[in-house]
Structure 1
Amino acid sequence: MPGDGKVTVIGGGVAGLVSAVACAEAGVRVDLYEAHGSLGGRGRATPAPYVAHEGPHVFYSDLPHWKWLTGRGLTGPVVLPPLRRVKAGFVRDGRLRLVPPAGLARMVLPGRPRTAPVDETFHDWASRRYGESTARTAANALGVVTYDAGTGRLSAAFVWELFRRVYAPTVPTVRWVAGGWQGVVDRMEARARDLGVRIRTGARLTGLPGGGPVIVATELSSARRLLGDESLRWESGHCVMRDLAVRSDRRDRLVAVDLDAGGFHESYSMQDASIAPRGESLFQLDMPVRADESTGAARERLDAFTDLTVPGWRERTTWQRTATAKGRTGALDLPGATWRDRPAIDRGDGVFLAGDMVAAPGMRGEIAILSGIRAAEGAVRAVRTARAARSGAA
């Protein structure tokens, strides 16, 4: 693709904003097009007073994406829940318990393997090592990061890495930032504009523009249509979600994990009071949809999970919304595949992909950030190569 020293970014979500900032920092002109009226993609939140996201608010700090964000001041202040309010729960056999099963606890003890096989399901591998019941429980404990009711069917290597990151008994790497992902999105937008990125919202492109490298930072389904490439497919989750604000109660807890079905509950207002009105608690609850299950049936299970984790929520509710996410909850690797087998970032001819289902490590937004950085590196190289070629020809 011929270049005139400009990069076009299609998509203004987290991956697109990261790509635009990284390119502009390298001295390249950037045009960013976003089909919606505002930026952020799945990092976008509802307006105050209830600041609710489509996915979790948290970050993990053990991969390079965190250093990239903090090095630019994009995370803003990190917040923590008061120790007196740090209460967890585990749903097992339909009851809310205070401690996890002994089998699950043994999986995080020292001496556990660092890796697991790529070409075997997590259920089969973990069943041999820890027993079938514990393997099933561990898979359900990861519903919070896979949004999938069949986590045990995924690659053992993929699931085990997630399990070790989320539940390892080390210094916690989870980070809550004030304002959640929306605050990060706002700071990235400001950074991009300060660097001279030209941002056009409400601008849906139906084809690739000419004149320079293009970074397609959209959902994989949209990239597939835009590029006319049916190979752009990958496994993802399917879940129903509820954002729920209630009048605060001393029984409210920070987190609860559904070890029966993969559901997850977390309060976001306990550590960040700015995202809900005073005297109220804001939660997000997720429930993976089972194979061949209707979303209505999944919502009934979500209601039952909410009954356990937010006692009396129906009488206390001040605001709520529900949603369904299918095929847009981040990449999941089946047995025999790793993140390197996902759709490649460099598509050739000056076209690059970025997003949460392409060939970069991590989970969800981490994949989006790291792929955005790599896509920008490729696009900048393409611009500089074109410049060098023109200079040589002159």
Structure 2
Amino acid sequence: MRQLTVIGGGLAGLTAAITAAEAGARVCLHEAHQTLGGRARTGEGPYRTNEGPHALYSGGPHWTWLKQRGLLGPLAPLPPLEAARLRFRRGGALRRTPPLGLLRLSRRRAEQTPVDVDFHTWASAQVGEEGARAAAHYMGVALFHHDPGSLSAAFVQERLRRATALPPEAHYVRGGWGQVIDRMAAHAWDLGVRIETESRLDALPERDGPVIVATSLDAARRLLGDDTLRWESGRTTLVDLALRTRKGDPFVVSDLDAPGWLERFTAQDPSLAPAGQQLLQGQLPVAPGQSKADGVAHAEALLDLGFPGWRERTVWRREALAQGRTGAVDLPGTTWRDRPAIDRGDGVYLAGDQVAAPGLLSEVSFNSALEATSLALLSTRLDLKLA
């Protein structure tokens, strides 16, 4: 068949390339950076950080897809003692349990939740103001948004159920997400995919076949010259911190007074930092008009509560502001079906975490990549039959 071109070497691009190659297509993948992975890259050096906290949800479709191909790799289980060290900021104090209303709400079926009502209004009618507010703020962990309560009730509730599922759906790849990317890249090479790194494209290449644009929505908008490629996202301060180890530090500090999350990733995977140190990653959503510094101040307030003496124990620190790179969020009255369509016409297809595909976090990238590849292969076969 004619060649399939994939632009972008992150999770979506590699998924598309592998899927197409497994179906017998000739595939060329272009990645602008020196390394593959996109937001799934894991940092080099002694601190194995991702771009914000990362976890794989076992209830999602990419879990099975990766496992079937031997790409999932070893996982880093969370010891029971560490799992018990989940803490919540409520009313300015650190507590061991969330409000009962949050727990009650987490058991409500997402299918019975309205799309056209905001989450805070709907949840308040179900469990009261306190539980609704706590649940909305808790979902900062999966939404990277400064006001989850303002989003579609159905959208937030589906994610609340999965984020609070028992047994937990969230799992951690030993060594960081970059290990999965490395395995996917090796598998793609074995299938004959031609991978070209440091290959930044400012326009669609001359091609003899379909193209899948697996970049951020902002990059796709510029590449395709299509100003309609827009969707609501979030702005989030990301904080990475390495501390000298102290016995008794919490595993997670979840802020229920405002969306914010700190997680000690070395609790499940000590290999992410040198011996005697622990790696923390935080995501602190910031509203329009706020700055990265506002998110940093929020992180430090949580650190003051949960990690005594953290300033004196800090051996490494990094901060960043993620803008428009935190995945799609759906406002009241919209669903994933209303996001930018995968099929852009003329043999061009879109994949990524802000397009018209279902799923939680990286599952949107995965699902859109499968759909884009399926449509691209189908279009090629139809063209060949017509020829």
Shorter-chain-normalised TM-score: which range?
over 0.9
Q: Which residue of 2 aligns with 1:117?
A: 114
2:223 maps to 1:226:
yes
Return the TM-score normalized by structure 2.
Answer: 0.96
CA distance, structure 2, for counterparts of residue 231 and residue 309 of structure 1: 43
Q: Which residue of 1 aligns with 2:340?
A: 343
**In 1, are the aligned partners of 2:52 and 2:282 still within 8 Å (CA)?**
no
**In 2, are the aligned partners of 1:5 and 1:387 still within 8 Å (CA)?**
no
- Could you tell me which amino acid in structure 1 is paired with residue 99 of structure 2? P
**In 2, are the aligned partners of 1:122 and 1:154 still within 8 Å (CA)?**
yes
Q: Classify the secondary structure of the residue corresponding to 2:177.
A: helix
Q: Which residue of 1 aligns with 2:151?
A: 154
Return the TM-score normalized by structure 1.
Answer: 0.94
CA distance, structure 1, for counterparts of residue 145 and residue 256 of structure 2: 13
- Could you tell me which amino acid in structure 2 is paired with residue 159 of structure 1? V
Q: Which residue of 2 aligns with 1:260?
A: 257
CA distance, structure 2, for counterparts of residue 134 and residue 37 of structure 1: 46
**In 2, are the aligned partners of 1:353 and 1:371 still within 8 Å (CA)?**
yes
Q: Which residue of 1 aligns with 2:49?
A: 52
Deviation at 1:186, TM superposition (A): 0.6
Q: Deviations over 1:182-221 (max 9, x none)?
A: 1111111111111111111111111112211000001001
- Could you tell me which amino acid in structure 2 is paired with residue 70 of structure 1? K
Gaps of at least 5 residues in structure 1 are: none
CA distance, structure 2, for counterparts of residue 272 and residue 40 of structure 1: 20
**In 1, are the aligned partners of 2:254 and 2:261 still within 8 Å (CA)?**
yes
The count of corresponding residues between Structure 1 and Structure 2 is 385
Q: Which residue of 1 aligns with 2:302?
A: 305
CA distance, structure 2, for counterparts of residue 256 and residue 300 of structure 1: 15
Q: Classify the secondary structure of the residue corresponding to 1:78.
A: coil
CA distance, structure 1, for counterparts of residue 109 and residue 228 of structure 2: 37
**Are the structure 2 counterparts of residues 361 and 112 from structure 1 closer, same or farther at C-alpha, using a change threshold of 3 Å?**
closer
> What percent of counterpart residues are identical?
52
Q: Which residue of 2 aligns with 1:177?
A: 173
2:172 maps to 1:192:
no
Deviation at 1:150, TM superposition (A): 0.8
CA distance, structure 2, for counterparts of residue 221 and residue 160 of structure 1: 27
**In 2, are the aligned partners of 1:356 and 1:363 still within 8 Å (CA)?**
no
CA distance, structure 1, for counterparts of residue 372 and residue 306 of structure 2: 41
Q: Classify the secondary structure of the residue corresponding to 2:112.
A: coil
CA distance, structure 2, for counterparts of residue 51 and residue 8 of structure 1: 31
Identify the match of residue 8 of structure 1 among 5, 8, 11.
Answer: 5
Q: Classify the secondary structure of the residue corresponding to 2:120.
A: helix
Report the RMSD for the aligned CA atoms in angstroms: 1.4
Deviation at 1:72, TM superposition (A): 0.8
Q: Deviations over 1:63-119 (max 9, x none)?
A: 21211111111110122122222211001111111111222222235x666431001
Q: Which residue of 1 aligns with 2:92?
A: 94
Q: Which residue of 1 aligns with 2:381?
A: 384
**Are the structure 2 counterparts of residues 366 and 112 from structure 1 closer, same or farther at C-alpha, using a change threshold of 3 Å?**
closer
Q: Deviations over 1:134-154 (max 9, x none)?
A: 211110000011111110110
Q: Which residue of 1 aligns with 2:198?
A: 202
**In 2, are the aligned partners of 1:265 and 1:309 still within 8 Å (CA)?**
no
CA distance, structure 1, for counterparts of residue 110 and residue 66 of structure 2: 31
**In 2, are the aligned partners of 1:331 and 1:363 still within 8 Å (CA)?**
no
CA distance, structure 1, for counterparts of residue 54 and residue 60 of structure 2: 17
Structure 1 segments of 4+ aligned residues over 4 angstroms from their partners: 111-114
CA distance, structure 2, for counterparts of residue 275 and residue 5 of structure 1: 43
